[in-house]
Chains A and B, each alone.
Chain A
Amino acid sequence: QSVLTQPPSASGTPGQRVTISCSGSSSNIGSNSVNWIQHLPGTAPKLLVYSNNQRPSGVPDRFSGSKSGTSASLAISGLQSEDEADYYCAAWDDRLDGPVFGTGTKVTVL
């Protein structure tokens, strides 16, 4: 069972900005950094953002992450067709002593 809560879907037209929220608690987002993972079903998941707002090499700066208290968000600006995928937030949970994932958000490019 996912510990972090995300909206099931989000959508936008090419070029628009889309924001995905992730809600947690004091034991996970409230005390640890938030990370975002992009996943196209049938392919290898890809780390998109780590440590709240850091992008691995090769990830476009169209993707940006932020965190405030026990919530976080991922923004995709200049939406492109290849951004159509599932997006998961993830964080370490001190109470569980292990990582937890969000429920996932399916982004559709209209």
Chain B
Amino acid sequence: EVQLVESGGGLVQPGGSLRLSCAASEFSFDNYAMNWVRQAPGKGLEWVSTISGSGHTTNYADSVRGRFTISRDNTKNTLYLQMNSLRGEDTAVYYCAKGRAYYYGSGTWPPDYWGQGTLVRVSS
């Protein structure tokens, strides 16, 4: 069974930084694009970012572009999200989700497996 375990969430002040990790197992990690999706308190799901299987192609939602960086280490089967210049509106549960194909694009959407999420709180 595919396993995705997020970590790294916590309380951070506005303007601060945080790095999330997602440990993947039970599938060929480097064969699939990976995603970050978030849910703010009382809100719906929001796509944050996607990275291709090789890591060479990335894309971001406008709300985080320029502040967040997605990356992956295929030798460690781990996905990352570096979050800088955090704002209150970034407060959310962040989910790691496995894409259904290697390349970035419509063919890899929607994710077929999701993690349990990690909570990020941005507050002073």
Contact = CB atoms under 8 A, between A and B. Distances in A.
Contacts of B44: 2, 86, 88, 101-104
Contacts of A98: 47, 50, 59, 61
B116 A44 contact: yes
B117 interface: yes
B109 interface: yes
Interface in A70-110: 86, 88, 90-92, 94, 97-104
B106 A45 contact: no
In terms of DSSP, what is the predominant structure of the interface of chain A?
Answer: strand
A56 B44 CA distance: 23
Sorting the interface of chain B by its residue count into under 10, 10 to 19, 20 to 34 or 35 or more gives 20 to 34
B26 interface: no
A9 to B, nearest CB: 13
A37 B110 contact: yes
Interface residues of A, number: 26
B111 A101 contact: no
B59 A56 contact: no
Interface in A40-88: 43-47, 50, 56, 86, 88
A7 B49 CA distance: 26
A47 B95 contact: no
Interface of B: 4, 37, 44-47, 50, 59, 61, 95, 97, 100, 105-106, 109-117
9 contacts: A32-B106, A44-B95, A47-B111, A90-B45, A90-B109, A99-B109, A100-B47, A101-B45, A101-B47
